[in-house]
Amino acid sequence: MPRPTSDVQASETRATDAALDDLRARLAGARLPEAETVRGAAPGPRRWDQGVPLADLVDVVRYWRTGYDWRSFEERLDRIGQFRTTIDGLGIHFLHRRSARTDATPLILTHGWPGSVAEFIDVVEELADPEDADAPAFHVVAPSLPGFGHSDKPARTGWGTEKIAAAWVELMGRLGYHTFAAHGGDWGGNITTVLGGRFPAHVLGIHTTFAEAPPGMTTDGLTPVERRWTEETRDFWRHRAAYAKQQATRPQTIGYSLVDSPVGLLAWILDKFAEWSDTEDSPFETMSRDRILDNVTLYWLTRSGASSARIYHESHNSLDPELRVDVPAAVTMYPRDIEKCPRPWAEKRYRRIVRWSSPENGGHFPSLEVPGYFVEDLREGLAAVLAAHG
């Protein structure tokens, strides 16, 4: 089995008791606005028209202060295995779980915003050591993006998706994985696309929930469902993407609030978990409060509200329009994701799509919303990719 180089060090991350006490004190002393003027609306999207409803936020803040257990999350990270390495002067934190199977394939999982490695902790074990001996197994690596979680914060510009993808190739090489498969969604999907397009000598194939077509595609010849997808995506970017424009243009400005106020940070992130998930009213219909708070607390304790927002400043709309992916690709379009790309469009960039899946349920956070399906879909997609690679 390949061995990591000396550049990789085991790491344990521990919040101080003082930091956790400070968080609880800030939550107890939070100043909140009055209720939204659509208060009293029936359960459903209308209730969230002005953002996170006050009653919902108060309930989550109370639980965060009095019931949530951060130490349990730290222990889960340790059980998976936490490591650090320095690439181009920047410390990168990552989870690494080696499979016990000798036929396992190295796999890098890349999260996006407002996610983190917390998205993957419920699926790593099943991917590494499946109960079914016939299911594919993977040596799983899940890095924290630069400026996210326990990775270092870039002190200068330049850490966009192209550089991150190159860093991931270096990271996998240091672990002894000179060829590997890759998966990602959101920014992770963008980075996975760059990995497949720029580094075909290292990338066996990709699985993504975020396929991005080249610009200038026409709706001629699309099915009614595919046309609806394009209309929904257009509506999202026209009417519901103010967060992206803010973070792409003024990440420092919003960063002051996100780093200073845990309630502000919670509302900023919870709003996306609610709007982008496959639920009728609340994100907690499919995701636990604990898992969402694992994610938010990780942002809070690492003070990464501003630094994580800067990925938009670095890379928003920056994917090379000429980039093509010739390694085998598997694509899954979850029905309630914020961007859904018709297959005829995707095929213009991903030129060897070997599996295309459109499940009935799931949104932007499938590893948290439908973890069982997510694992099976990822396995089947990567099995098709590896078979096509030969």
Task: Note the pLDDT of residue 220.
Answer: 95
Q: Any idea which of 40-44, 125-129, 160-164, 220-224 has the lowest mean pLDDT?
A: 40-44
**For the CA atoms of the chain, what is the radius of gyration?**
20
Q: What is the pLDDT of residue 5?
A: 60
pLDDT band at 39 (very low <50, low <70, confident <90, very high): confident
Statement: residue 2 has pLDDT above 90: no
Q: What tens digit of pLDDT does each residue of 328-363 get?
A: 999 999 999 999 999 999 999 999 999 999 999 999
Residue 4 confidence (pLDDT) above 60: no
Q: Considering the chain, what percentage of its residues have pLDDT values greater than 70? A: 98
Q: What is the mean pLDDT of residues 251-275?
A: 98
**What pLDDT is recorded for position 390?**
82
> What's the confidence (pLDDT) of residue 45?
76
Structure confidence at residue 126 (pLDDT): 97
pLDDT-derived band at 171 (thresholds 50, 70, 90) equals very high
What is the average pLDDT across 145-159?
98
Helix H or strand E encompassing 215: none
CA 224 to chain centre: 29
End-to-end CA gap in the chain:
21
Domains in the chain, start-ordered, CATH in brackets? 9-389 (3.40.50.1820)
Q: Which two tokens stand for residue 297?
A: 């607390």
Instruction: Using the predicted structure, report yes or no on whether residue 3 has a pLDDT greater than 60.
Output: no
Q: Which residue has the tokens 């099915």?
A: 223
> Is 219 a residue whose pLDDT tops 60?
yes
pLDDT of residue 40: 74
Helix (H) or strand (E) holding 203: strand 203-208
pLDDT value at residue 383? 98
- Residue % of the chain over a pLDDT of 90: 96
Place of tokens 């396929």: 211
CB 191 within 8 A of CB 164: yes
With CA atoms as reference, report the closest residue to 141 among 2, 15, 276, 14: 2
Q: Mean pLDDT in the chain?
A: 96
Residue 120 pLDDT > 50: yes
Tokens of 37: 């003027």
3-state secondary structure 73-130: HHHHHHHHCEEEEEECCEEEEEEEECCCCCCCEEEEEECCCCCCHHHHCCCHHHHHCC
Nearest 5°: the CA angle 369, 379, 275 is 20
Angle at alpha carbon of residue 301, lines to 244 and 116, rounded to 5°: 50
DSSP codes of every residue in 2-47: ----TT-EE------HHHHHHHHHHHHT---PPPPTTTTPPSSGGG
pLDDT of residue 1: 46
Greater confidence (41 vs 284) lies with 284
338 SS3 class = coil
